[in-house]
Structure 1
């Protein structure tokens, strides 16, 4: 299921010596996105300072979500998003010395740009430690909001599935009364074949041979028109899907299987059909089932 959630909190970062840092307060922001997927696929986009929290975040997400493509992003920024770090004079002296050494050996080497100096100074500076409880607290809040968003979509999907199941059950009920009619039609066809066989048997075949042919025809007809079993299984699968939707929980994979079985029975119903009306019912069933299949893959 799809969903999106984000939140921010103030990050009370500490210096390398463990003392609170002065200056603009930093903010820890996190967002989680979820899109449809048959399996659980997690991806993380974290700054280096938060990379060590990936196992913790992964455990939090996998404990609550079993299906979907989930992307977790986090960032740490100051109140002034345009603020640039102040390079230490000692670091600048060190970079100037290194640059002079490189250019003495490689005269054609390009001098360092301002952007490169800022990047090198930032990489060499000690990183602030973000408290683990703040990261966990923020992740739990964002995850709860994401689950709420996914639940809202789940309610909509369940309502759609119930509507389709109602239509599917109606088609199944239409198919049921057609079975005796088809049997009667095929019985009449069998009697015609029987009379034909008896006519061919007069003077050229024994009654036993005619009877064997008639029995073979009757057996073939019975196998071809027997769709009562398919109708019964369709009703059973529809009832089970309705039960799972009422029960809730992690039912996505079981629903996947039941939808496959529904399609199998509807397809068999159409292949055995000897009446135009039953063929139409089979086609309408397969259209509904295919629409349900697309949505069931979004449910957890």
Structure 2
């Protein structure tokens, strides 16, 4: 399932933004992008994602800005002395001293006296970022839930179409009792009239095979059972993507058997249309958790 979420935070030393994205995936794959020195945040990210998401390719990025300007400016006097000594060497003892603005423009003469970060500071920063990550994941779940509600409606529409086609298959004239009996009588009579004659045990086997191939009621009953099971999964909610994935295989199995048994143009047409709708259902199932 796709989704995007963003959360930010700050303390007296830094500001940060957490962005969480997810796209469709059969399993759960997490990738983290963290600032240097904050690898300790990754376990918290993994814990938050694994607790809330079971499927999808998830990317979590943390962008950190340290408040460097909070430190006081200081002059690097050792470097300044070296610059003055070099100026005297080049200009000679009678040369005027360099201008102040020229000296201050030399890289490194003025820098920011950054406050020293302790281990406690680092740990506090990681904990604060981890809390922001949890907020971002919560918002990502909300976004995915909204998409899931839309997909559930789409899947229910597909199930309604599968049910309609199943009922249409059951209602075809070739599956009506009298049509089945007439078809079987003709096929068995052809076996009886065969030259050379078919042995009785072989005749019984062929008749049983013809009857089993002509009867697709089991396939239709299983299709209806699968439809009911899929609707129950969607109604109950939760992480049902993989179970629906398996159910799609069962839908396909019954539709393929229906087509292979069919000796009627109308029933074959319905079976092919049924397979097309099942494939559409399967494609949408790939998008849910």
Normalised by the size of structure 1, how large is the TM-score? 0.74
Change (3 A) 1:80 1:293: farther
Distance in 2 separating the partners of 1:238 and 1:214: 38
Residue of structure 2 in register with 1:60 after alignment: 48
| 1:265 has 2:254 as partner | yes
Distance in 2 separating the partners of 1:199 and 1:298: 57
**Structure 1 residue 12: deviation in Å?**
2.5
| 1:295 has 2:289 as partner | no
| 1:251 has 2:217 as partner | no
**Structure 1 residue 283: deviation in Å?**
0.9
Does the Cα contact within 8 Å between 1:182 and 1:225 map onto a contact in 2? no
Change (3 A) 1:200 1:133: closer
Distance in 2 separating the partners of 1:91 and 1:27: 33
**Structure 1 residue 134: deviation in Å?**
1.6
Aligned pairs, how many?
256
**Structure 1 residue 136: deviation in Å?**
2.4
Does the Cα contact within 8 Å between 1:183 and 1:225 map onto a contact in 2? no
Distance in 2 separating the partners of 1:200 and 1:193: 11
Distance in 2 separating the partners of 1:43 and 1:176: 49
Residue of structure 1 in register with 2:157 after alignment: 163
| 1:188 has 2:188 as partner | no
| 1:7 has 2:1 as partner | no
The Cα offsets for residues 41-67 of structure 1, whole Å up to 9 and x where unpaired, read as 000000013211111111111111111
5+ residue gaps, structure 1, are 14-25, 97-116
Residue of structure 1 in register with 2:76 after alignment: 89
**SS of aligned partner of 1:298:** coil
**Structure 1 residue 182: deviation in Å?**
5.7
**Structure 1 residue 298: deviation in Å?**
1.7
Equivalent residues in 2 for 1:1-300, closer than 5 Å: 1-13=1-13, 26-77=14-65, 89=76, 129=122, 131-178=125-172, 181=175, 184-196=178-190, 214-300=203-289
5+ residue gaps, structure 2, are 84-106
Does the Cα contact within 8 Å between 1:40 and 1:68 map onto a contact in 2? yes
Change (3 A) 1:199 1:176: closer
Normalised by the size of structure 2, how large is the TM-score? 0.77
**Structure 1 residue 169: deviation in Å?**
0.5
